[in-house]
Structure formats: C-alpha cells, structure tokens
Structure 1
C-alpha cells in the first residue's frame, strides 16, 4: 500500500516532519518521496504546483487522493490504516478530545516561537522595536509555561495527552524540537525539555529526523536570551 504513496517534503519543516512521523508510526515505510530544498525554491516545481495550489510542503498523494494539509494527512493515515501500526487516536471520547485539543494548540506554540525567531531573522535591525521583541518573548514564555503545566499535571513520564504516544505527539514534537535546537534555556520549560529527551529517540522520530539537522546538530542561538 505504501508504494502507492508519494510525499514531497522539506527538511526541518514541522508540517513535513509530522507527516513522516505518522507514516513511520503506521508502518507505512517504503512510500515514494522527494526531498526538496526551500532555499533553492525547489518546492515551487511543476510537480508540486500540479498537486498543491498553494505550492507548499508537504504535498502528499495516495493513489488518486491528494491531501496537502499536514493535520488532515495525519488524520487520514490514522483513519485509513487504523488497525496497522500504532493507534494514534484513542477510542474513548474524552481521551480523543484531549488529543485533538493538544493537536490544534500546537499552532499557538509554533506561531509564538516563529514570532520571536522571525523577528530577529527577517526584520532589519534599524526597523526593530525592542518593545515588540520583548512582548513577543513574554508571550512565548507564557505559552511554554502553559505547556509545562500540562505535563506537570499529567505526571512524570507522560506524553502530551496521557500515558500513550498519540497523534498529539506526532503533530507537536516537530515544533517542540526547535526549542533545544534554538538553545532555549531549559529553565523556561523544564517539563517540556524532559518530554523532548524522552521522545527524541523513539524509532519513528529518529527515522524521520531532518537530514540537515544530522549534518549540523547545532542550530542558531535564536532563543538563547528568551
């Protein structure tokens, strides 16, 4: 079945990475894939344009079905291959609700991290306002504290939505992985960093680790002064 799948992806992209983790968890190794460079704008190739009107990655095709939003593609894989590999969405409605809650909260964490990182990367130094950067950092620290509280409440050794690895972890881990890579101080999110250390060696995550992170394990110190 995996041979009928095609994934266009970019290294280090959280949406691409989460879909690759889901494919590994559902035992769908052997799918066709094409690694495209964002820096070289290879993702704007005609192959992607023909499948994805937004010309974004991931672009995912299974037979004649095209699913380009990473959350939708991950949920599709769980539904289509429910009895294969890891069960990523629990049966219990209350447990499902928590998984979905953490999944969709991931966008908040990711956007607040981007607000800090992108401000320093892309706003020219002469146009920066310290008050804006300070506000972005304070908002991100508050978000990290919130996630730390979630893990604290569930207890040591817990995953993001309970005792089992679920779609919440599939979706959120690629975002969380940026915090140690960007040298976020551990004291800002100690529980989240404990979670990172617990999950980073999971086979599905190791198998899909961004290639350029393997080549350059040390990322920029963007969050050093958070």
Structure 2
C-alpha cells in the first residue's frame, strides 16, 4: 500500500512535516521519499515541476493520484485509510467542529510566523524596512496570544480540539515546533510550551522530526523577544 506512495519533501518545512505526520499516524511507513534542498532550489527542479507545476513541496503521489497541498494530502490520507492507524477526525460533533476551526486558523498562524522568520528570504533587500518587520512581529505576537488562550481554555494535557489527537494537531504542531526552534520562550507562552512538550514525544512526530534539527538541535534566536 505505502509502496505505491511517493513524497518529495524538504527538512523543516511545516507543510511537508504535516504530511509525514499523517502518514505515520495512518501506519503508512515504507513509502518512497526523497529529501530535497530548498537552499539548492531543488523544489524548482523538473522532477518536482512534472508533478507540481507550482514548484512547491510537499509533492505527494499515490498511484496515479497527485495531491500536493498539505491540507489536501492530510484529508486524503484520513479519508482513504479511515480504518487504518489512528483516527484523525473525532466523532464528537463539538470536537470535530473545533478541529476544523483550528485547522484552518492554522493557515493564518503559519503565514504570520513566516512573515517574521523568513522576512529576509521573501522580501528583496531594497524593499526591506524595519517598520514592516516590527509590524509583522506585532501581528505574530497577537496571534500567539490567541493560541495561548485557546489552549488555556481547554486545560492541561490536551490537544487542540480536545483530549484526542486530530488533524488540527497534524496541521498546527509543525508551526508550534518551528516557533520554539526559532527561540520562542516557553516561559512567556506556557500553554504553547506545554502543548509542544506533550506532543513532541508522540511517535509519529518523533519519527518525522526534521533531520537537520536532529543534526543541529540548538536552532536560532530570531523569536527570542516575541
């Protein structure tokens, strides 16, 4: 089954990590995979463009079916393998609604993170302004306070949609992990810190941990003052 699957991915990319977590949760180990380098622009290679005309990672193929957007790939895996591995959509109406809400809010969360940690990557040197980066940091801080509040309301030792690990966590945890990788303080955001500490030990997350993070555990301090 997994032998019919191929994933082209980049280390440390939250969208790629989402799909890898979902594959682990659905017991789909053994899929074909190829690690590509963003720094070497390998995501723009013909190999990727043949499957994904946007030249983005992840690029995921199952048989003749291509699903490149990470949200779509995660939904696809849960839909096609409902009875296999861990169930990622709760039965509870309340938890399911909250799962969908947090999943799609996760897109905004990830975008606001990117505007800070990859500011110099996305904005040409002549167009960069300290005031713009300050605004981006303020927007990220506001976003972080929202997620702190969400987790505080749910209580300790919980996932994003309740007690059960769900697609909301598959989608959002890589963003949270990236925040801490770039130096965010767990003391300043204790609920996000507790959530990170709880889920980073989950087997699917440990098995798919970005390899370059393992090689260099220290990370960066870009977000130390957020």
* TM-score after normalising by structure 2: 0.94
SS in 1 for 2:50: helix
Q: Which residue of the partner structure matches residue 53 of structure 1?
A: 53
Task: Give distance in 1, aligned partners of 2:225 and 2:126.
Answer: 20
Contact 1:144–1:188 (8 Å) recurs in 2: no
Contact 2:90–2:164 (8 Å) recurs in 1: no
Q: 1:70 to 1:126 in 2, by over 3 A?
A: closer
Unpaired runs of at least 5, structure 2:
none
Q: Which residue of the partner structure matches residue 31 of structure 2?
A: 31
SS in 1 for 2:29: coil
Unpaired runs of at least 5, structure 1:
none
Q: 1:121 to 1:54 in 2, by over 3 A?
A: closer
After superposing on structure 2, the runs of 4+ consecutive aligned residues of structure 1 that deviate more than 4 Å are 120-128
Is residue 2:101 matched to residue 1:97? no
The structural deviation recorded for 1:40 is: 1.1
Contact 1:78–1:88 (8 Å) recurs in 2: yes
Q: Which residue of the partner structure matches residue 189 of structure 1?
A: 189
The structural deviation recorded for 1:210 is: 0.5
Is residue 2:149 matched to residue 1:149? yes
The structural deviation recorded for 1:42 is: 1.6
Larger deviation, residues 35-44 vs 11-20: 35-44
The structural deviation recorded for 1:128 is: 4.4
* TM-score after normalising by structure 1: 0.94
**1:121-140 alignment, distance < 5 Å:** 128-140=128-140
Q: 1:128 to 1:36 in 2, by over 3 A?
A: closer
Q: Which residue of the partner structure matches residue 80 of structure 2?
A: 80
Q: Which residue of the partner structure matches residue 6 of structure 2?
A: 6
Q: Deviations over 1:104-153 (max 9, x none)?
A: 11111111111122235665777643332222222111111110111110
Q: Which residue of the partner structure matches residue 180 of structure 1?
A: 180
